[in-house]
Amino acid sequence: MKNKIKRFERKWLFKSNNSLSLINALIRSNLFFRTQYPTRKVNSVYFDTYGYTSIRQNLDGVSNKKKIRVRWYGNREIINNPVIEIKSKKGFETKKESIAIKELQNTKISDLEIIKEMLNKKLKSKKIINPVLSTHYEREYFVSLNGKVRATVDYNLQSIFLNNLSQIDIVKNFKNICILEFKYPTSLDKYVRKNLKDITLRLSKNSKFVNSAIEKPKFFS
């Protein structure tokens, strides 16, 4: 089953000790955010070509770029109800295609060869892509009063470098950083920006995938 969406995504970085103030600001904002879902753990395995095309595109500031990941929730060691997500981005505008991949159900994250084989088979990839990095974090979910704008707060981020399909190496714990993200239809951009003026954090083109990758210079050797 496939699902396609088109939206704007805007992100801010802030110190984790400011998270309570940030959530209070969301609730007091003109959009009147409220909790949408219980907090849950988010896990992703990111894929790239042998030449790290996706990472290089992001670092080089390429406008049109794409990244591919397998995402699931809960236990980080065992993949449960996984979905392939293909995100294409131009500026702050994002298109995301989601594809269920039942073939990976109950697969261990350490079984990288199986993950690689199943994903390439599912996508019928012309260029072989490899699992290069995994991210794990907790996420809180909020939605505006009118239900049209979503906000998420991510924290306790950990990134793991998947080295040559045989070695797992912890890259970095980003425990002092939280990420605030807004997601909404492209048609609401002016409306959303107007009503979020009170949240005065610095807008950032932040990518957990890329920020984690640059911690390992050997990606580009």
Q: Of the spans 19-28, 73-82, 166-175, which averages the highest pLDDT?
A: 73-82
Please report the pLDDT score of residue 219 as a whole number.
Answer: 47
pTM of the full structure? 0.85
CA distances from 107 to 81, 111, 113, 115, 218 (A): 10, 7, 11, 8, 28
Q: What are phi and psi of 93, to 5 degrees?
A: -85, 130
Domains and CATH numbers, the chain: 2-220 (3.20.100.30)
For residue 221, pLDDT over 50 is answered with: no
* Cβ atoms < 10 Å from Cβ of 67: 21
Sign of CA dihedral 50, 100, 211, 40: negative
Q: Find the range with the poorest average confidence among 19-28, 125-134, 160-169, 187-196.
A: 160-169
The mean per-residue pLDDT over the stretch 91-107 comes to 91
pLDDT tens digits for range 36-77 = 999 999 999 999 988 888 888 877 767 788 899 999 999 999
pLDDT tens digits for range 117-158 = 999 999 987 788 999 889 999 999 999 999 999 999 998 888
Beta bridge partners of 179: 13, 154
Q: Rounded to whole angstroms, how far apart are CA atoms 159 and 180?
A: 18
Q: How confident is the model at residue 171 (pLDDT cuts 50, 70, 90)?
A: low
Q: How confident is the model at residue 216 (pLDDT cuts 50, 70, 90)?
A: low
Sign of CA dihedral 213, 208, 135, 47: negative
The mean per-residue pLDDT over the stretch 71-96 comes to 92
Please report the pLDDT score of residue 167 as a whole number.
Answer: 52
